[in-house]
Amino acid sequence: MNTWALIIRPLRPTGQGVTALDRWHGLQAPWSPGGGAAWLWTTVMLLTLVACAALAAILGYGYVRRRKMWTTFTAHGTKDGLSEDEVKLLQHMAGLIKLRNPVTIYTSEGSFNRAVTRLMRHRRTVAMSGSMRANLNALVASIREKLGFRPPLEETSEVSISSRQIEVGSSVFVTLPGHSEAVGATVLETDQSAFIVETAEAVKCQSGDDCVVRHSVGSAAWEFDSQVVYRLGRKLTLNHAQDVRLINRRRFPRVRVDMRAHVARLPFLGENAEQETPEFVPAKVVEMGGPGLLVLQSSLGARVGERILITIRLAEDRLVQASGRVRRASTDTPDGGLLAVELVGLDPGEMAELVRQTNLAAVKQAREQIEPAEAALR
């Protein structure tokens, strides 16, 4: 007890005579203006003002930047002949796919098609009435035409190969970035904007990833570049492609065609020394299978194993010129002789073009067979 008294005795005079109000004022004094901690208040206020100024500058810069960007976007649309409604719709479409530079949608057909896919699958579009959706489609078609992008398959007059022709239930192989091998998948749904596939195994990808899709059609393979719209589990929504690469170098389907042609014999040693150039005679290609042609002609007189020159006028106003070798010859037709010709010396690009022409002819022939049947059902 005496020890405790000795300890607190020196402190007791400082506490004597001090009231509770004096203690309260003593606590406030360092923090009040002019007190010992006034510098802290000043620092806090200055930092607050600086932070508010910085935030206002950032927000103001972002607003000015966005306003300038959309002003440029509108000016670009006006220059291309777009109406006010079309510019607003295109602006909305650019926002759906989150383009860093929205102006690129005016020049990038891939971005435009991806935006159309997102727009048509948006919940607001799905909830539209039939008339509203028709008006929206008409507006999108008008924008597509004014920007010079290619129309969908059903709007084109010429026959072409497109991924839209892949039927539901077909098997495809998808090669995604980061995957060394193609992944098998099944087509679950397709429309004019995109198609949905379900992969055989889980894959890692995200919206905007480029991919390569391959689909087997008989003895040919269709290969095209696509883009992932979005992924839900093992289901991938992919963009359609208008340009399809046709790959087939061994076996080729035979398709009936009707193409104007000219053929000429090309012997190593000319039979007529006075004839310095090959003499072409009219002919007609009646069957095509990649590099294999069935040619109807009347007066060539070529023999099996002989080389010939041939020019073929394609349906799309293109001219094929190549050399070939006669594999089979017959003269038992009323219109002349038939020559089975194999074109030789073709590089991979030329081979792919012939396969493309064969598949174009096959698609056209299939349409010609289906349209009368559909007309009869109507």
**Domain ranges within the chain, ordered by starting residue:** 78-149, 163-247, 255-368
| Tokens at 194, concatenated | 């995109």
Pairing relation of β-strands 210-217 and 235-239?
unpaired
Helix, strand or coil for residue 83? coil
CB 236 within 8 A of CB 196: yes
Residue 116 CA to residue 191 CA, distance in Å, equals 12
Residue 36 CA to residue 28 CA, distance in Å, equals 10
CATH superfamily membership of 255-368: predicted glycosyltransferase like domains (2.40.10.220)
Contacts of 63 (CB under 8 A, 6+ apart): none
CB 300 within 8 A of CB 285: no
pLDDT tens sequence for the chain (378 residues): 455 554 555 545 555 555 666 666 555 555 555 554 566 667 777 888 888 877 877 776 666 666 777 788 888 888 777 888 888 888 888 888 888 788 888 878 778 888 888 888 777 877 777 667 777 887 888 888 787 776 664 443 334 567 888 888 888 989 888 776 788 999 999 887 889 999 998 888 888 888 888 887 655 677 888 888 888 889 999 988 877 776 654 456 678 888 899 998 888 776 776 777 888 889 999 888 878 888 988 777 787 778 899 999 886 678 889 988 888 887 666 666 888 888 888 776 777 778 778 877 877 777 776 666 555 555
Q: What share of the chain is helix, strand, coil (3-state, %, to 5)?
A: 40, 30, 30
Helix, strand or coil for residue 351? helix
pLDDT tens digits, 193-211: 889 999 998 888 888 888 8
Q: How far is CA 167 from the centre of its chain?
A: 19
- Looking at domain 163-247, its CATH class is mainly beta
Helix, strand or coil for residue 174? strand
Backbone angles phi, psi at 204, to 5 degrees: -110, 115
| Residue 220 CB neighbours (<10 A) | 21
pLDDT tens digits, 97-140: 888 788 888 878 778 888 888 888 777 877 777 667 777 887 88
Residue listed under structure tokens 């294999």: 292
- The pLDDT assigned to 156 comes to 39
Residue 85 CA to residue 98 CA, distance in Å, equals 20
Q: How far is CA 107 from the centre of its chain?
A: 14
On the question of a common fold for 163-247 and 255-368, the answer reads: yes
**Of 100, 152, 104, residue with least CA distance to 90:** 104
| Overall residue count recorded for the chain in this entry | 378
Backbone angles phi, psi at 354, to 5 degrees: -65, -40
Residue listed under structure tokens 């530079």: 101
User: What is the DSSP-derived secondary structure letter of residue 31?
Assistant: G
Q: How far apart are the first and last CA of the chain?
A: 116
Residue listed under structure tokens 């995957």: 179
